[in-house]
Structure 1
Amino acid sequence: MNIYAWVGMLGIIFLTLLPFIKKENRSKGEIRKAIITVVIVLGIIVAVLVFNVNYPLALIAGFVAMILFNKKTYTKKRLLIYSSILVIIGIAAFSVFRDNPDYVLNHLKENPQTTSLYVAENGMELMTYQSDVVRPLASTVKMLIAVEYAMQIDAGILSKDNTVSLDDLERFYYKNTDGNGHESWLKRMESEDKIKNNVVTLHDVAIGMITYSSNANTDYLIDLLGIANINAQAKSLGLTQHEEVYPIVSAQLIPKQLDNTSISEKQLIQKLEEMPMETYRSTAIAISEQMREGTIKVEEISSDISLKLQRVWSDRLIGASANNYGKLLAIISNDELPGAAAGIVRDLLEWPMQHNKGNHERFAHLGAKGGSTVFVLNDAMYAEDHIGNKIEFVILTDNLNFWQAQMLRYNMNSFESKLLGDKDYRQKVQKELSEL
């Protein structure tokens, strides 16, 4: 739910309860209707936040519930009207929310300035649509961090079995800013009894970064591995279109450090946008160091960040080209990393094989890391079937509005599945994008 959805839901509750300020409005019938309305709205919120139900679908379900609980519904005339409305909504919902991989293809075709697609098959590039343009990676950059982690394990600098205090991780945890990724990882650790005396293994921290996309784990690992080492690793891998890495969480705190009562949000945004990128990075690094030392206590800082400020943060996230991440995927898929590093990175990235046993029927290997913000939706994956055919696939999208983001999320899985498994569809996508 974004800020507009929250305003809408809370607005309904407020307007429902507002009439009860006057005593004469507090009849049993009106109280009953108000209770039903509030319960339905809270049900929508719970369905979206707890059970990850698509917000528009939850909204439609809430509308249907309002009709069913209204006594006036059960007349011939109203039943006919509401039945007609539901049929229309059902047809519209089917046409909009049906599984449609072509929605992603059409978005690519219609938005060349903000999208990239890279596809390679058995070492041959098939599609390089806007793939040399540097775009914000969001959490997709965690692939590179995973590689540096694996290389340091292989070199004996670190051990997978090193222990990490949860308190040390919490210093980098900014609540409600990573889609509940950190909380989900902690729940898994608890359910598998992997938390001993408030510590976990370093490898489990890396799993939290990749499988659950915990930003706290990511910034902890960035600090542990060393930013200079990660940036040097990008160069050694030949990632020539990759911006320098800096902490993800602490960058979200930059507006809080600059903000004061003397400037408006508009002035704050202007100040952020005018800040040189090198200054922006060094500020994020300095804040991250203070978080590690405990001089900045992130748990005391509000995570209420406006969409306009989120946009600045999203636009300034670490960027790279789809070409570069296609190259990185090929290095991993072809086991070109030295020693144990290759197996360690596969272990981290091939979580889709562990979480969906059905993938074992189609693939010998399937590794992936996505990344998203309110305005960005990315994915990078490699696949190998049981006879050795390999595909690397990277899609980067930026500047998304709310509707585009929702529809891309809804249809991305079917697009990726068809692109990976259907040669005819790959040829169709290749043809249509090459004609632009």
Structure 2
Amino acid sequence: MNIFAWIGMLGIVFFTLLPFVKKKNRTKKATRVAIGTVAIILGIIIAVLIFDVNYLLAVIVGFALMIVFDKKTYMKKRLIIYGSIILIFGIAGFALSRENPEYVLNHLKDNPQTTSLYLVENGVELITYQSDVVRPLASTVKMLIAAEYAMQIDAGLLNKDSSVPLADLSRYYLKNSDGGAHKEWLKSMHSEGKVENNNVKLHDVAKGMATYSSNANTDYLIDLLGISAINKRAKDFGLTQHEAVYPIVSALLIPEHIKSESMNGKQLVKKLKAMPMEEYRTLAEELSEQMQEETIKVEDLTFDLSMKLQKVWSDKLIGASANDYGKLLAIISNDELPPAASEILRDLLEWPMELNERNHERFTHLGAKGGSTVFIMNDAMYAESHAGDKIEIVLLTDDLSFWQGIQIRKNLSSFESEMLGSEEFRLKVQKELSEM
């Protein structure tokens, strides 16, 4: 639950109990209704915080319970009103739940300043829409980090079966900052019996970064691999527009680190925006080192940045162009890495083949790494059919509104499925974007 959800829930409780300030309103009937309402609100909070129920689903169920337990509901007039509301919401919900690949295409056409699309089929560039523009990568950068990890394993610099204490990873974990990714990875490690004496294998840490998108695992690997090595690898791969890598989690601590007692939120945002990227990266590295050394006790902290501060953080994330990640995808898909490194990297990135058995019917290989913030939705993927046909796709979007973010997330899968499976749709997208 974010701050707005808390305000909403507590607001309902407040206005439910407010009439009881006057003694005349403290009737048995009013008290019974108030107790029921407060109980439902508490139930929603408990369901979300303790049982990880989706907030929106919990609110809908709570609203339905309020209607069911209200005796007035069963009056003819109320039945008509509530029936109409349910019908309207049902129709709207059905319309909104339908996946529409055209939405992503239309968003690309309507927002050339904030979107990029790159598509290569069998080595031939079909779409290079704004693909030379550097945009924030979010977690898509983890594909490069995974590649450097694979290369260092291949070179014998690291052992993928070496043990990593969970305590070492927790030093990089900032509560509530990754959408539950790190917790989900830990849960899977325990359920699969892969935690021994509170240690996991290094390769499982890398898989937690690639499959679950754990930021804690990412920053651990950035420190282990070395920032300079990762940046050099980007150059060796020919990623000419790739910005320098820096730790992701520690950057979230920068606002609090530079804030003075006299500084208000607006001034803090202004100072962060004005901070040169070199200074910003250096500070993120210094804070990450303090997290590793436990000078900063990250377990005592909780992610709680305002949307304006999150926007600055999102804008300053490591950037690259769609062209860059198209090159990286081609290197992987065309097996241009040493055989052992290629096998390791495919194992990290081809989680979609494990996630959905039906993908085996369509592809020999299917690998991907997405990346998102409240304002970003990116994806980089490669695919190879059983006939040997190959496709690489990179989609980058930035400056998404709340509604645009919902729609892109809902329709991205169908858009990519059409791009991978329909030559007619690929040619349509190529034609319409080339006319922009």
* TM-score calculated relative to the size of structure 1: 0.95
1:408 deviation in Å? 1.2
Confirm or deny: 8 A CA contact 2:176 2:302 kept in the other structure: no
Cα separation, partners in 2 of 1:301 and 1:429, compared to 1, 3 Å: same
Cα separation, partners in 2 of 1:119 and 1:144, compared to 1, 3 Å: same
User: Secondary structure in 2 aligned to 1:173?
Assistant: coil
**Which residue of 1 is the match for residue 246 of structure 2?**
246
2:37 counterpart of 1:37: yes
User: Secondary structure in 1 aligned to 2:339?
Assistant: coil
One-letter code aligned to 2:330: A
**Which residue of 2 is the match for residue 156 of structure 1?**
156
2:271 counterpart of 1:271: yes
1:383 deviation in Å? 1.1
RMSD over aligned CA atoms reads 1.9
Q: Percent identity, aligned pairs only?
A: 68
Q: Partners in 2 of 1:184 and 1:21 — Cα distance?
A: 45
One-letter code aligned to 2:387: I
Cα separation, partners in 2 of 1:239 and 1:64, compared to 1, 3 Å: same
Cα separation, partners in 2 of 1:197 and 1:20, compared to 1, 3 Å: farther
User: Secondary structure in 2 aligned to 1:253?
Assistant: helix
Cα separation, partners in 2 of 1:54 and 1:357, compared to 1, 3 Å: farther
1:161 deviation in Å? 0.6
Cα separation, partners in 2 of 1:39 and 1:364, compared to 1, 3 Å: farther
**Which residue of 2 is the match for residue 200 of structure 1?**
200
Q: Partners in 2 of 1:139 and 1:340 — Cα distance?
A: 24
* TM-score calculated relative to the size of structure 2: 0.95
Q: Partners in 1 of 2:372 and 2:38 — Cα distance?
A: 32
Q: Partners in 1 of 2:406 and 2:99 — Cα distance?
A: 13
Q: Partners in 1 of 2:233 and 2:34 — Cα distance?
A: 59
Greater mean alpha carbon deviation, residues 115-124 or residues 57-66:
57-66
Q: Partners in 2 of 1:90 and 1:288 — Cα distance?
A: 48
User: Secondary structure in 2 aligned to 1:280?
Assistant: helix
Greater mean alpha carbon deviation, residues 150-159 or residues 369-378:
369-378
User: Secondary structure in 1 aligned to 2:380?
Assistant: strand
Equivalence map 1:122-201=2 (5 Å): 122-201=122-201
1:48 deviation in Å? 6.4
Equivalence map 1:23-422=2 (5 Å): 24-42=24-42, 53=54, 55=56, 59-422=59-422
Cα deviations across residues 401-427 of structure 1 (Å, max 9, x unaligned)?
A: 111111111111111112111221112
1:104 deviation in Å? 1.2
Greater mean alpha carbon deviation, residues 277-286 or residues 361-370:
361-370
2:10 counterpart of 1:16: no
1:294 deviation in Å? 1.0
1:37 deviation in Å? 3.0
1:62 deviation in Å? 4.3
Cα deviations across residues 144-185 of structure 1 (Å, max 9, x unaligned)?
A: 000000000000000001111111111111010011100000
Q: Partners in 2 of 1:278 and 1:206 — Cα distance?
A: 27
Greater mean alpha carbon deviation, residues 23-32 or residues 11-20:
23-32
One-letter code aligned to 2:435: E
1:53 deviation in Å? 4.2
Q: Partners in 2 of 1:368 and 1:222 — Cα distance?
A: 20
User: Secondary structure in 2 aligned to 1:413?
Assistant: helix
Q: Partners in 2 of 1:415 and 1:39 — Cα distance?
A: 42
Consecutive unaligned residues in structure 1, runs of 5 or more: none
Cα deviations across residues 217-263 of structure 1 (Å, max 9, x unaligned)?
A: 00000000000000000000000010000000010001111112111
Q: Partners in 2 of 1:261 and 1:280 — Cα distance?
A: 21
One-letter code aligned to 1:288: S
1:9 deviation in Å? 3.0
Greater mean alpha carbon deviation, residues 27-36 or residues 185-194:
27-36
Cα separation, partners in 2 of 1:39 and 1:101, compared to 1, 3 Å: farther
Cα separation, partners in 2 of 1:181 and 1:110, compared to 1, 3 Å: same
One-letter code aligned to 1:273: K
Q: Partners in 2 of 1:318 and 1:128 — Cα distance?
A: 21
Consecutive unaligned residues in structure 2, runs of 5 or more: none
Q: Partners in 1 of 2:187 and 2:230 — Cα distance?
A: 29
Confirm or deny: 8 A CA contact 2:364 2:385 kept in the other structure: yes
Q: Partners in 2 of 1:52 and 1:323 — Cα distance?
A: 39
1:124 deviation in Å? 1.1
Cα deviations across residues 385-412 of structure 1 (Å, max 9, x unaligned)?
A: 1111111111111111111111111111
One-letter code aligned to 2:212: Y
Cα deviations across residues 69-88 of structure 1 (Å, max 9, x unaligned)?
A: 32111122221222222222
